[in-house]
């Protein structure tokens, strides 16, 4: 058996609380607040406390899915990205770039958010980009 504690930053919002994952036998078993973290001082909100739940959730998607004939089918990343690119291009061609909007999330990193913004403005060509934490 094996029991270790892995520090991490909560991915839910921009606050950046320090969390500690309790890992037993290689599986995340619980989330703890990091007592010595300068941001949260050993406190968490309900989302942070339940970080481990979604990691282990049976409902979590592990591969991309593409809807065919009204049902989701498992697909590879290449297929999914290709499919999305085709569809985006179709919309852009038919209705113009402003018909597309992008909503980004606090659950991804700053760098990824930057990329998303860049993608929206430079690739799609619209300013329709927003972030959930702006609410």
The contact set with another protein (CB under 8 A) reads: 1-5, 7, 20, 22, 24-25, 29-30, 32-37, 40, 42-46, 48-49
Smallest distance, another protein to C-beta of residue 40, A: 8
Q: Strand pairing partners for 71?
A: 68
Smallest distance, another protein to C-beta of residue 14, A: 16
Q: How many residues appear in the chain?
A: 135
Q: Strand pairing partners for 66?
A: 73
**Which one-letter DSSP state was computed for residue 46?**
H
CB-nearer residue toward another protein: 36 or 63: 36
CB-nearer residue toward another protein: 30 or 102: 30
Q: How far is CA 77 from the centre of its chain?
A: 16
CB-nearer residue toward another protein: 46 or 135: 46
Contacting residues for 57 by C-beta, under 8 A, at least 6 apart: none
């Amino acid at each position: 058996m094996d029991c270790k504690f892995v520090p991490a930053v909560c991915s839910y919002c921009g606050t950046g609380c320090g969390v500690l994952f309790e890992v037993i036998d290689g599986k995340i078993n619980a989330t703890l607040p990091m007592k010595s973290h300068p941001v949260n001082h050993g406190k968490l909100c309900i989302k942070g406390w339940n970080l481990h739940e979604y990691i282990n959730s049976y409902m979590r998607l592990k591969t991309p899915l593409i809807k065919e004939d009204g049902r989701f089918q498992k697909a590879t990343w290449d297929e999914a990205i290709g499919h999305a690119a085709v569809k985006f291009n179709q919309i852009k061609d038919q209705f113009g770039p402003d018909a597309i909007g992008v909503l980004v999330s606090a659950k991804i990193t700053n760098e990824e958010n930057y990329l998303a913004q860049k993608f929206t403005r430079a690739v799609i060509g619209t300013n329709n980009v927003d972030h959930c934490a702006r609410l």
